[in-house]
Amino acid sequence: MNTKILIPTQLFVGRTELLAEKTEQFLQEQFCKNQSQNIQSCYCNECRKIKNHQHEFIVFISPEKDYTVKDLDIIFEKANFALDQNQKFFFVLQKAQTLSSTCANKLLKILEEPPAGYNFILQTNNPTSILPTILSRCHVTNFSNKNPEELDYAAEYSSLTSFFYNQNLDNPADFEKELRKLELSDSQSIEILNSIINFYAKKILWHHEGKNPQEHIEYSESVYKFLNEKLKKAPQSGSSGLFWKNIYISFPKFARK
């Protein structure tokens, strides 16, 4: 069994077929006992059940079109039961970009504090259409590197934007490493900054809609204002690296009152 720390709420980003494969592989790592063997070609009982979507501790949810609240009922039914110690249960939510705000609100209740042993894998080909409140609960894994052309522009850069979305603001060394890997041009930087601004614009609306605490609204508004100021001093002639480092260092931090 896999002993790595398991994060209970995850968002997998990438092409649909690729995500099916990556999710299967991830689940095999959780359940298959033949870790020495190449898990892809393992035909143990656990692996077979995973491949056939018949595993008793995994539920795949795939809406016909967009999610309805009814599609989520099974989560609340299942999660009512306490699991044995060390038992893991997974919900795989395909096409998470089609979760409406009503569905997302319902789902948030359980994502905020999943019952012990219960895990969620949300899959999407377009993370920018995932509601910010959901996104902020998830650990994002981007599998899209191989096919960025099929994805939303900013999705390709989620390794950078996730620092801001997940409030990962105390790791300048990691941030710089990511920055160096991406080698952003000035125009790419402006595109990305614009998509982060859009993200926070959405977030403000969302907080208002959900009548969320004033401090959340104020925070998102302060980030929105901060980023718009930065946009006015957009990078020129190859100063992108410095531009992003500045944003990272001075990015507003959320203070719980």
Judged on CB neighbours under 10 Å (0-12, 13-18, 19+), 219 is: buried
CA atoms within 13 A on the CB side of 128: 18
Task: State the nearest-atom distance from the C-beta of 20 to Zn ion, in Å.
Answer: 18
Judged on CB neighbours under 10 Å (0-12, 13-18, 19+), 124 is: buried
In this structure, how many other beta carbons lie within 10 angstroms of the beta carbon of residue 245? 14
Find the binder of Zn ion among 18, 47, 138, 193 (CB under 5 A).
Answer: 47
- Does 58 contact Zn ion by CB under 5 A? no
- Does 50 contact Zn ion by CB under 5 A? no
- Does 29 contact Zn ion by CB under 5 A? no
33 touches 1 (CB < 8 A): yes
Task: State the nearest-atom distance from the C-beta of 41 to Zn ion, in Å.
Answer: 9
DSSP state of 138: S
- Does 179 contact Zn ion by CB under 5 A? no
Find the binder of Zn ion among 6, 20, 44, 83 (CB under 5 A).
Answer: 44
Residue 74 CB partners (closer than 8 Å, separation 6+): 59, 61
Task: State the nearest-atom distance from the C-beta of 254 to Zn ion, in Å.
Answer: 42
CA atoms within 13 A on the CB side of 29: 11
Stretch that binds Zn ion, among 34-42, 133-141, 228-236, 243-251 (CB under 5 A): 34-42
Task: State the nearest-atom distance from the C-beta of 40 to Zn ion, in Å.
Answer: 10
Find the binder of Zn ion among 11, 42, 130, 196 (CB under 5 A).
Answer: 42
Task: State the nearest-atom distance from the C-beta of 57 to Zn ion, in Å.
Answer: 14
- Does 49 contact Zn ion by CB under 5 A? no
30 touches 6 (CB < 8 A): yes
Of the two residues 44 and 169, which places its CB atom closer to Zn ion in the complex?
A: 44
Q: Which of 206, 220, 210, 204 is nearest to 252 (CA)?
A: 220
Task: State the nearest-atom distance from the C-beta of 47 to Zn ion, in Å.
Answer: 3
Stretch that binds Zn ion, among 38-46, 69-77, 220-228, 240-248 (CB under 5 A): 38-46
Q: Which of 46, 132, 129 is nearest to 90 (CA)?
A: 46
Task: State the nearest-atom distance from the C-beta of 189 to Zn ion, in Å.
Answer: 45
Find the binder of Zn ion among 18, 32, 121, 138 (CB under 5 A).
Answer: 32
Interaction site with Zn ion (CB under 5 A): 32, 34, 42, 44, 47
